[in-house]
């Protein structure tokens, strides 16, 4: 599996945008970029995924670099409920989700 690199932790103020980076320099052409988050005492929650183009949904936006070696998850207005561990995962056919350590996001009022 291709690996991803994320900062261990980030901090944001409530109601401000948050940009969570992910490096994946060994990504292959068929790897999808997935983001999941895990709130305390809950199972992981799917956030968004994409292949080459930027993606938007009700939860977040995913910006993918042109060379696909990095991506950024964007939370447009962080709330206290967004405090979680965010995982950037490369997903290809036949392989399980490799969660890694993720980024622990702290949101302060």
Q: List interacting residues with other proteins (CB under 8 A).
A: 30-32, 34, 36, 42-46, 49, 51, 87, 91-101
Which of 13, 33, 4, 15 is CA-nearest to residue 103? 4
Which residue, 43 or 109, has its beta carbon nearer to other proteins?
43
Least distance to other proteins from the beta carbon of 23, Å? 19
Which residue, 94 or 109, has its beta carbon nearer to other proteins?
94
Least distance to other proteins from the beta carbon of 62, Å? 12
Tell me the longest C-alpha to C-alpha distance in the chain: 42
List the beta bridge partners of residue 104: 9, 85
Which residue, 13 or 92, has its beta carbon nearer to other proteins?
92
Least distance to other proteins from the beta carbon of 3, Å? 14
Angstrom distance (rounded) from CA 89 to CA 100: 8
Least distance to other proteins from the beta carbon of 80, Å? 20
Angstrom distance (rounded) from CA 86 to CA 96: 17
Angstrom distance (rounded) from CA 75 to CA 56: 10
Which residue, 20 or 89, has its beta carbon nearer to other proteins?
89
């Amino acid at each position: 599996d291709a690996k991803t690199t994320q900062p261990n932790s980030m901090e944001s103020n409530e109601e401000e945008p948050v940009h969570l980076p992910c490096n994946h320099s060994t990504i292959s052409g068929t790897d999808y970029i997935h983001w999941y988050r895990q709130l305390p005492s809950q199972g992981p929650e799917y956030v968004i995924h994409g292949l080459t183009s930027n993606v938007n949904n009700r939860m977040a936006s995913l910006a993918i670099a042109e060379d696909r070696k990095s991506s950024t998850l964007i939370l447009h207005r962080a709330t206290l409920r967004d405090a979680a561990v965010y995982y950037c995962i490369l997903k290809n056919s036949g392989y399980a989700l490799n969660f890694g350590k993720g980024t622990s996001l702290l949101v302060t009022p």
